[in-house]
Structure 1
Amino acid sequence: MAGRSRIRKWLAWIAGALLALVALAVLALALFDWNRARPFIDDKVSQALGRPFTIAGDLSVDWRRDRDAGGLAALVPWPEFTARDIRIGNPDWAAQPQFARLDALRFRLAPLALLAHRVEVPMLQLVQPAVDLERDAQGRATWDFALPQGGAPSAWKLDLRRIGFDRGRIALDDALGQVKLAVEVTPLAGPIPYDQLVAQASDEARADASQSAGAAAGKTLAGQAPRDERVGNARGDLRYLFGWTAQGSYKGAPVKGSGRTGGMLALQDASQPFPLQARVRIGDSRIALVGTLTDPLHLGALDVRLWFAGSSMAKLYAITGVTLPDTPPFATEGHLTAQLRRGGSRYGYHGFRGRVGGSDLAGDLDYVTGGARPKLSGKVQSRLLRFADLAPLIGADSNAQKQQRGDATPQPADKVLPVEPFRTERWRAMDADVAYAAARIVHGEGSVPVEALDTHLTLDDGVLALSPLRLGLAGGTVDGRVRLDGSAAPMRGALQLHARHLKLKRLFPTFQPMQTSLGEINGSADLKAQGNSVAALLGSADGGLKLLMNDGAISRNLLETAGLNVGNIVLGKLFGDRTVKINCAATDLAAENGRFATRLFVFDTDDAEIDVDGTVDFASEKLDLDVQPHTKGFRVLSLRSPLYVRGTLKKPDVGVHAGPLLARGAGAVALGVAAAPAAALLAMVAPSHGDGDDGTCRKVLAKMRR
């Protein structure tokens, strides 16, 4: 019994001694004049940061309970350090003397964790921070700290859990990125629930869409968006506590924005989302988002609803780094997720929908960085696509549209073929693998009657390919592939297309004589070329072009409307102003270095069979053709005279040969040279399906083949 009593006494003495030591430690912390430690702290922190660090105000300690903690930790007081008037200097090269200044810095410290060599800071509070961020043209940035290298790793570890802040200011002057911003952060009058701000942000973004892309775009985005369980649900406990405004410039374009944030940023706990909301205008591009950020210390995850709107998607390249085509005014809305990693990040824009001009757009896209080049992949579809909205993508937009974008190239007065260069400089900035389909395409009067589109676009190290490329055109189909190598200088291109059963009455819906026609056009093109414009590509083309038309009609008015001045003049010389019915037209052209030569070029009409022989040089746009009519009977005496076509595409010279024409084409037919081209075109004459009469073309080609 006596032994047990002694043990109890010893344990009591030990417990009392420990309590006394704790009490003495607490008393020492409370009574110690911490201002005497400022020079030591300033020196050690300055060495660690590689920058001047100063606590210019008081340094004190208070004991407070952490009411946000659970269990015993919420009952036990924690030491809370407060350092006032903190200043962090900038490198000598910076324009501003200070990197940051805080009215005060408060942080709580877990004492027991110090026994395990761990500095555990449950919360760090920044009081009225002012930060000046600067980067010069050489890439030196004030936010890159020269931390000490080498030596044995420290046995101490920092565990920073949360950062809180209040009213503050951030200035950014980035000469390398051409960004200047001034951001002000202020407390809100009262907290705003997450769901309320989502609804408000949606209304604001749709108003921006209406202003940028028209009322129809606003109505499209006003419909019920597909619900995404990852955004907007189970967020009732989130509150926005601070508002911010930003103003400045980005690459010469004015920047203005505003938004709201939460008040406490969790650095370690990925389950604690930090609410974000922003509405920014850069030039005439508008961006809005609302959602959450989690695990920012490890560059974790962004999960927001995102809206874009502007005059052209191409202008987003400077903002996002994603190569996008020139488009009419647009607006989109979707769900953006981001997994941010230093070795490579992944962004997803899923379930998005919107409008581009008068066309709708929807789909899913992913953007991945970290490889040799970033890559964009996904699927995009349109229920309705206006051909006018597709025009800028294929270079068919008007000069007025190009001038509005500021990328128009003056067309030489003596040239017909467009010299506007392709914008390939961005093709090597990223890769792409995107499938696109348009179920229905509408076109205005005079436009090419494309009815549907289905293609697979790939972009690999500057090489753009559309393979396969399928078009529904004038009741028929066009299948093929296009390849443009933008990594080469000059650009190299290859085109393979096969057109089948294109209905003439749909190709020329406003030409009345064609509306009763059952005729069709069949053809193929296989060309290779190099150059950075349509003119340069055609001026260097090698390959062949075949075209076959039956049961058609032609007039000077039709050719004039189509801009075919040469054909307009030739037709007038042969037939006058009347409309001419064409039983069959067959063309086989061979191209070499931009010079297209006729292997076979024949028109069969009720009055005559007309042979065309010679060349069209697209490099110089010069014409060298002979037109030989073979009159059927004596009904049209004027058709007995052969014609010549000289001059250029811009200024053709058409006249009557003074003497008998030793037609190159006639000699070729006599030698049987036309047999092979006729046989190749004859293969395009498919058996009639009741919607056309190909008998005349079959007879004409069979005759030439013999």
Structure 2
Amino acid sequence: MQRIRRALAWLVAVVLLLVAVLMLFLALFDWNRARPLINEQVSTALQRPFAIEGDLRVVWRPEAGERGLSGWLPWPHFSAEQVRLGNPEWAQGDTFVSLDSARFRLAPLPLLWKTVSIPSIELGTALVDLQRLGDGRANWSFDLGKDAEAEPRDEPAAWTLDIGTIAFARGHVQLDDRSSKTRLEAVVEPLGEPIPFADIVGKGAADRAAAQDYAFAWRTKGDFRGQPIIGDGKVGGLLALHDASLPFPLQADLRIGATRIRVAGSLTDPQNLGALDLRLQLSGNSLSQLYPLTGVTLPDTPAYSTDGRLQADLRDADGAIFRYLDFNGRIGASDIHGDLTFVARQPRPKLSGQLTSNQLLFSDLAPLIGADSAADKRKRGEQDRQPANKVLPVAEFRTERWRTMDADVRFVGKRIVHSEQLPIRNLDTHVLLNDGMLSLEPLRFGMAGGTLDAQIRLNGALTPMQGQLRLSARELRLKQLFPTFAPMQTSLGALNGDASLSGSGNSVAALLGGANGELKMLINDGAVSRGLMEIAGLNVGNYLVGRLFGDEEVKINCAAADLGIKQGLMSTRLFVIDTENAVIKVDGSANFASERLDFTITPATKGFRIFSLRSPLYVRGTFKQPAPGVQATPLALRGAGLVALGVAVAPAAGLLALVAPSAGDEPSQCEPLLQKIRGG
């Protein structure tokens, strides 16, 4: 037993002596002798040149604040001067990163469970050259010696790296990313004195995230995704990779082309780009110009500016989530408010939210479906390809953008500012975009005391695009439709109508040129004159009214229209106008493909009134230049009578569904007319 104790004592003494000798060796060893071996091993592991060209030192001392075994074990503190990491063979230039100095300390105990724990790294002045080719190869990606042909394994890595914080000094960064057409040069320098976080983001934001002070200023210039960029800002000096209680402060003011982006806030868990909490201010000439920067499909608009809070969760399993909360702004002369959420999911990202405008200028209502406008073309230096002799727009919808993302956005315009000729009160629409299928259901306007309700579906996933439209107009009050026309102000009448269209084509002209559908409309208790035509801007109507009624104002008892549309040709099934002087029938067609008109207007005198017109009228020509005139054939019918005018019976029955009482529950004057037609 005595021998065993003596042997154990000797064994412990030998172990302690070996440890002491090892510690003494490590403390006195000139680590510069190990630089060639270290450089060779790191170069082999990284498959690119690595060199510590300056002094290399290791100092062993206990770590302050540590307890237990980790507290009395000495920790190695490494320092290296003039560190350089080279580029791969395909990259331009020899150096990827060069550092004046690098200092860090290593926790010894975690090495037992294969963890390299480095609480902090201090980097000196850095020069960084970032490059990525068009084929995706980037000099910041490392293969680390893996066999590309080896079978994938599910085993975890043998060692893990755990870095706490990174402190840095000044730096110079160059980026040449050919895959995204981006070339940037950035300089980072210490501020004269640190700036408190609250001084830039405000006390409210500072209370939400107790971030460190701003310690460095930065500036950049170059080209970002093909657009010129210039900017500056501030950042903190200590990057906490794991500690969310120490958010990293960010502040930036960037100008990318005509777009200005200003942010101020914090980033947590930078190693994984964990979360953002920023105040975001955006402004530019058009929201559509954000597409090449963000990939988010937005409509062409007038100049805009917004200010709100951007929160991001970049680690969500379904994709990074960005929330633009409680933002306020302006688009043109209209205000805009709301919340938007963008989820970068697969197979397509999705934009959702709700927008409200308290006062919306009607001229600021831009295309919700992203079709090019002439103004947008001029901004890009393109020519307007709209033919001079065409009215219907031939510009193609940009459906390729519809397939890059999904959307579910509700928009409400509480008050619409417009001219007196456009009596629209409010707007309510729900925009849905799913795999190239765009729908506005509903697209609802409050208009002239009534409602204009539409459902629009455009399938941009098909070539050519397919479109469907359903439109319902109910109780549009005539005196509000024409507020500047005095005779109409005593009118109790209203306009009711339904329309349905379907077609295919990648422009408005192509859609209507091959459309199928129908249009039904009733107008009761109105008035008409040349003055009304002038207000409505209808020069042809002014001519026709003058030929039919002269300069008088004539009361309309009822106007009934039932129009069929087949392969772009709209033909009259029933078109009758019942006035106090005459019953007028309209026959003919409008060809949306060729944009040509061919209508005949035939009147029949009522009672004993002398109707001066002795021949039918016509409207021919094109949409752009309609040509009205008087036919050479005299009127064959001089007496009143709907049957004599040859009106159709079946369409009249279909129009009865649109009959509604006038204001004050007065009976509609259209019902007797339609019943008379039915009775033939």
Change (3 A) 1:492 1:303: same
After TM superposition, the score normalised by the length of structure 1 is: 0.88
Question: Which residue identity does 1:113 align to in structure 2?
Answer: P
CA distance in structure 1 between the aligned counterparts of 2:13 and 2:208, rounded to whole angstroms? 49
Structure-2 residue corresponding to 1:205: none
CA distance in structure 2 between the aligned counterparts of 1:290 and 1:644, rounded to whole angstroms? 67
Which of residues 167, 187, 191 is equivalent to 2:194?
Answer: 191
Question: Which residue identity does 2:221 align to in structure 1?
Answer: Q
CA distance in structure 1 between the aligned counterparts of 2:214 and 2:539, rounded to whole angstroms? 67
1:34-62 deviation digits (Å, cap 9, x = unpaired) = 12212221222122222221222221123
How far off its partner does 1:669 sit? 4.8
**Aligned partners of 1:311 and 1:328 also within 8 Å:** yes
**Aligned partners of 2:444 and 2:451 also within 8 Å:** yes
Structure-2 residue corresponding to 1:134: 131
Structure-1 residue corresponding to 2:677: 704
How far off its partner does 1:256 sit? 1.0
Which stretch has the larger CA shift, 382-391 or 396-405? 396-405
Which stretch has the larger CA shift, 129-138 or 66-75? 66-75
1:104 aligns with 2:77: no
Question: Which residue identity does 2:606 align to in structure 1?
Answer: K
Change (3 A) 1:671 1:696: closer
Structure-2 residue corresponding to 1:148: 145
Question: Which residue identity does 2:351 align to in structure 1?
Answer: L
**Aligned partners of 1:548 and 1:585 also within 8 Å:** yes
Question: Which residue identity does 2:349 align to in structure 1?
Answer: P
CA distance in structure 1 between the aligned counterparts of 2:137 and 2:159, rounded to whole angstroms? 30
How far off its partner does 1:19 sit? 5.5
CA distance in structure 1 between the aligned counterparts of 2:607 and 2:657, rounded to whole angstroms? 30
How far off its partner does 1:384 sit? 2.1
**Helix, strand or coil at the partner of 1:639:** coil
Which of residues 46, 51, 57 is equivalent to 1:49?
Answer: 46
1:173 aligns with 2:171: no
In structure 2, runs of 5+ residues without a counterpart are: none
1:427 aligns with 2:436: no
CA distance in structure 2 between the aligned counterparts of 1:700 and 1:484, rounded to whole angstroms? 38
1:164 aligns with 2:167: yes
**Helix, strand or coil at the partner of 1:30:** helix
CA distance in structure 2 between the aligned counterparts of 1:126 and 1:21, rounded to whole angstroms? 35
CA distance in structure 1 between the aligned counterparts of 2:353 and 2:303, rounded to whole angstroms? 22
Change (3 A) 1:560 1:92: farther
CA distance in structure 1 between the aligned counterparts of 2:252 and 2:309, rounded to whole angstroms? 15
Question: Which residue identity does 1:32 align to in structure 2?
Answer: F
1:470 aligns with 2:444: yes
Change (3 A) 1:599 1:564: same
Question: Which residue identity does 1:414 align to in structure 2?
Answer: N
**Aligned partners of 2:620 and 2:628 also within 8 Å:** yes
CA distance in structure 1 between the aligned counterparts of 2:62 and 2:646, rounded to whole angstroms? 104
Which of residues 604, 612, 616 is equivalent to 2:586?
Answer: 612
Identity of aligned pairs, percent?
A: 55
1:602-651 deviation digits (Å, cap 9, x = unpaired) = 11112211100011111111111111011124544323321222221222
**Helix, strand or coil at the partner of 1:695:** coil
**Helix, strand or coil at the partner of 1:138:** coil
CA distance in structure 1 between the aligned counterparts of 2:438 and 2:43, rounded to whole angstroms? 53
Which stretch has the larger CA shift, 186-195 or 638-647? 638-647
**Helix, strand or coil at the partner of 2:403:** helix
Which residues in structure 2 correspond to 1:546-625 (within 5 Å)? 546-625=520-599
CA distance in structure 1 between the aligned counterparts of 2:353 and 2:430, rounded to whole angstroms? 10
Question: Which residue identity does 1:698 align to in structure 2?
Answer: E
1:278 aligns with 2:252: yes
Change (3 A) 1:634 1:307: same
**Aligned partners of 2:117 and 2:161 also within 8 Å:** yes
**Aligned partners of 2:371 and 2:396 also within 8 Å:** no
**Aligned partners of 1:569 and 1:654 also within 8 Å:** yes
Change (3 A) 1:645 1:340: same
1:682 aligns with 2:656: yes
**Aligned partners of 1:610 and 1:630 also within 8 Å:** yes
**Aligned partners of 1:478 and 1:497 also within 8 Å:** yes
CA distance in structure 1 between the aligned counterparts of 2:259 and 2:294, rounded to whole angstroms? 12
Structure-2 residue corresponding to 1:357: 332
**Aligned partners of 1:270 and 1:295 also within 8 Å:** yes
Which of residues 418, 442, 446 is equivalent to 2:393?
Answer: 418
**Aligned partners of 1:179 and 1:249 also within 8 Å:** yes
Which stretch has the larger CA shift, 400-409 or 541-550? 400-409
CA distance in structure 2 between the aligned counterparts of 1:20 and 1:616, rounded to whole angstroms? 106
1:459-504 deviation digits (Å, cap 9, x = unpaired) = 0111100112222111101223110111222221100111101111
1:539 aligns with 2:509: no
How far off its partner does 1:108 sit? 0.8
**Aligned partners of 2:300 and 2:376 also within 8 Å:** no
Which stretch has the larger CA shift, 672-681 or 491-500? 672-681
Structure-2 residue corresponding to 1:24: 21
1:385 aligns with 2:360: yes
Structure-1 residue corresponding to 2:415: 440
1:58 aligns with 2:55: yes
**Aligned partners of 1:493 and 1:537 also within 8 Å:** yes
Which residues in structure 2 correspond to 1:339-350 (within 5 Å)? 339-341=313-315, 344-350=319-325
1:299-355 deviation digits (Å, cap 9, x = unpaired) = 311222211111111111111111111112111122222222487212112222222
**Aligned partners of 1:668 and 1:674 also within 8 Å:** no
How far off its partner does 1:569 sit? 2.8
How far off its partner does 1:131 sit? 0.9
CA distance in structure 1 between the aligned counterparts of 2:345 and 2:523, rounded to whole angstroms? 52
Structure-2 residue corresponding to 1:485: 459
Question: Which residue identity does 1:556 align to in structure 2?
Answer: R
1:644 aligns with 2:618: yes
**Aligned partners of 1:471 and 1:479 also within 8 Å:** yes
How far off its partner does 1:235 sit? 3.9
Change (3 A) 1:183 1:488: same
**Aligned partners of 1:631 and 1:639 also within 8 Å:** no
Question: Which residue identity does 2:427 align to in structure 1?
Answer: L
Question: Which residue identity does 1:86 align to in structure 2?
Answer: V
Structure-1 residue corresponding to 2:492: 518
1:239-298 deviation digits (Å, cap 9, x = unpaired) = 111111111112332211111111111223333311111111111111111222112223
CA distance in structure 2 between the aligned counterparts of 1:109 and 1:636, rounded to whole angstroms? 109
Question: Which residue identity does 2:319 align to in structure 1?
Answer: G
Question: Which residue identity does 1:26 align to in structure 2?
Answer: M
CA distance in structure 2 between the aligned counterparts of 1:620 and 1:272, rounded to whole angstroms? 68
Change (3 A) 1:246 1:65: farther
Which stretch has the larger CA shift, 538-547 or 387-396? 387-396
**Aligned partners of 2:277 and 2:309 also within 8 Å:** yes
Change (3 A) 1:668 1:514: closer
CA distance in structure 2 between the aligned counterparts of 1:629 and 1:68, rounded to whole angstroms? 103
Structure-1 residue corresponding to 2:307: 333
CA distance in structure 2 between the aligned counterparts of 1:330 and 1:671, rounded to whole angstroms? 56
Which stretch has the larger CA shift, 387-396 or 571-580? 387-396
Change (3 A) 1:690 1:398: farther
1:649-705 deviation digits (Å, cap 9, x = unpaired) = 222232222224679xx99956987222112222211234507x5532222212112
1:324 aligns with 2:298: yes
Aligned residues: 670
How far off its partner does 1:76 sit? 7.0
CA distance in structure 1 between the aligned counterparts of 2:392 and 2:535, rounded to whole angstroms? 17
Change (3 A) 1:396 1:180: closer
How far off its partner does 1:534 sit? 2.1
CA distance in structure 1 between the aligned counterparts of 2:610 and 2:617, rounded to whole angstroms? 15
**Helix, strand or coil at the partner of 2:363:** helix
Structure-2 residue corresponding to 1:211: none
Question: Which residue identity does 1:587 align to in structure 2?
Answer: A
**Aligned partners of 1:388 and 1:397 also within 8 Å:** no
**Helix, strand or coil at the partner of 1:146:** coil
**Helix, strand or coil at the partner of 2:654:** helix
Change (3 A) 1:185 1:19: farther
When the two chains are superposed, the root-mean-square deviation of aligned CA atoms in Å is: 3.0
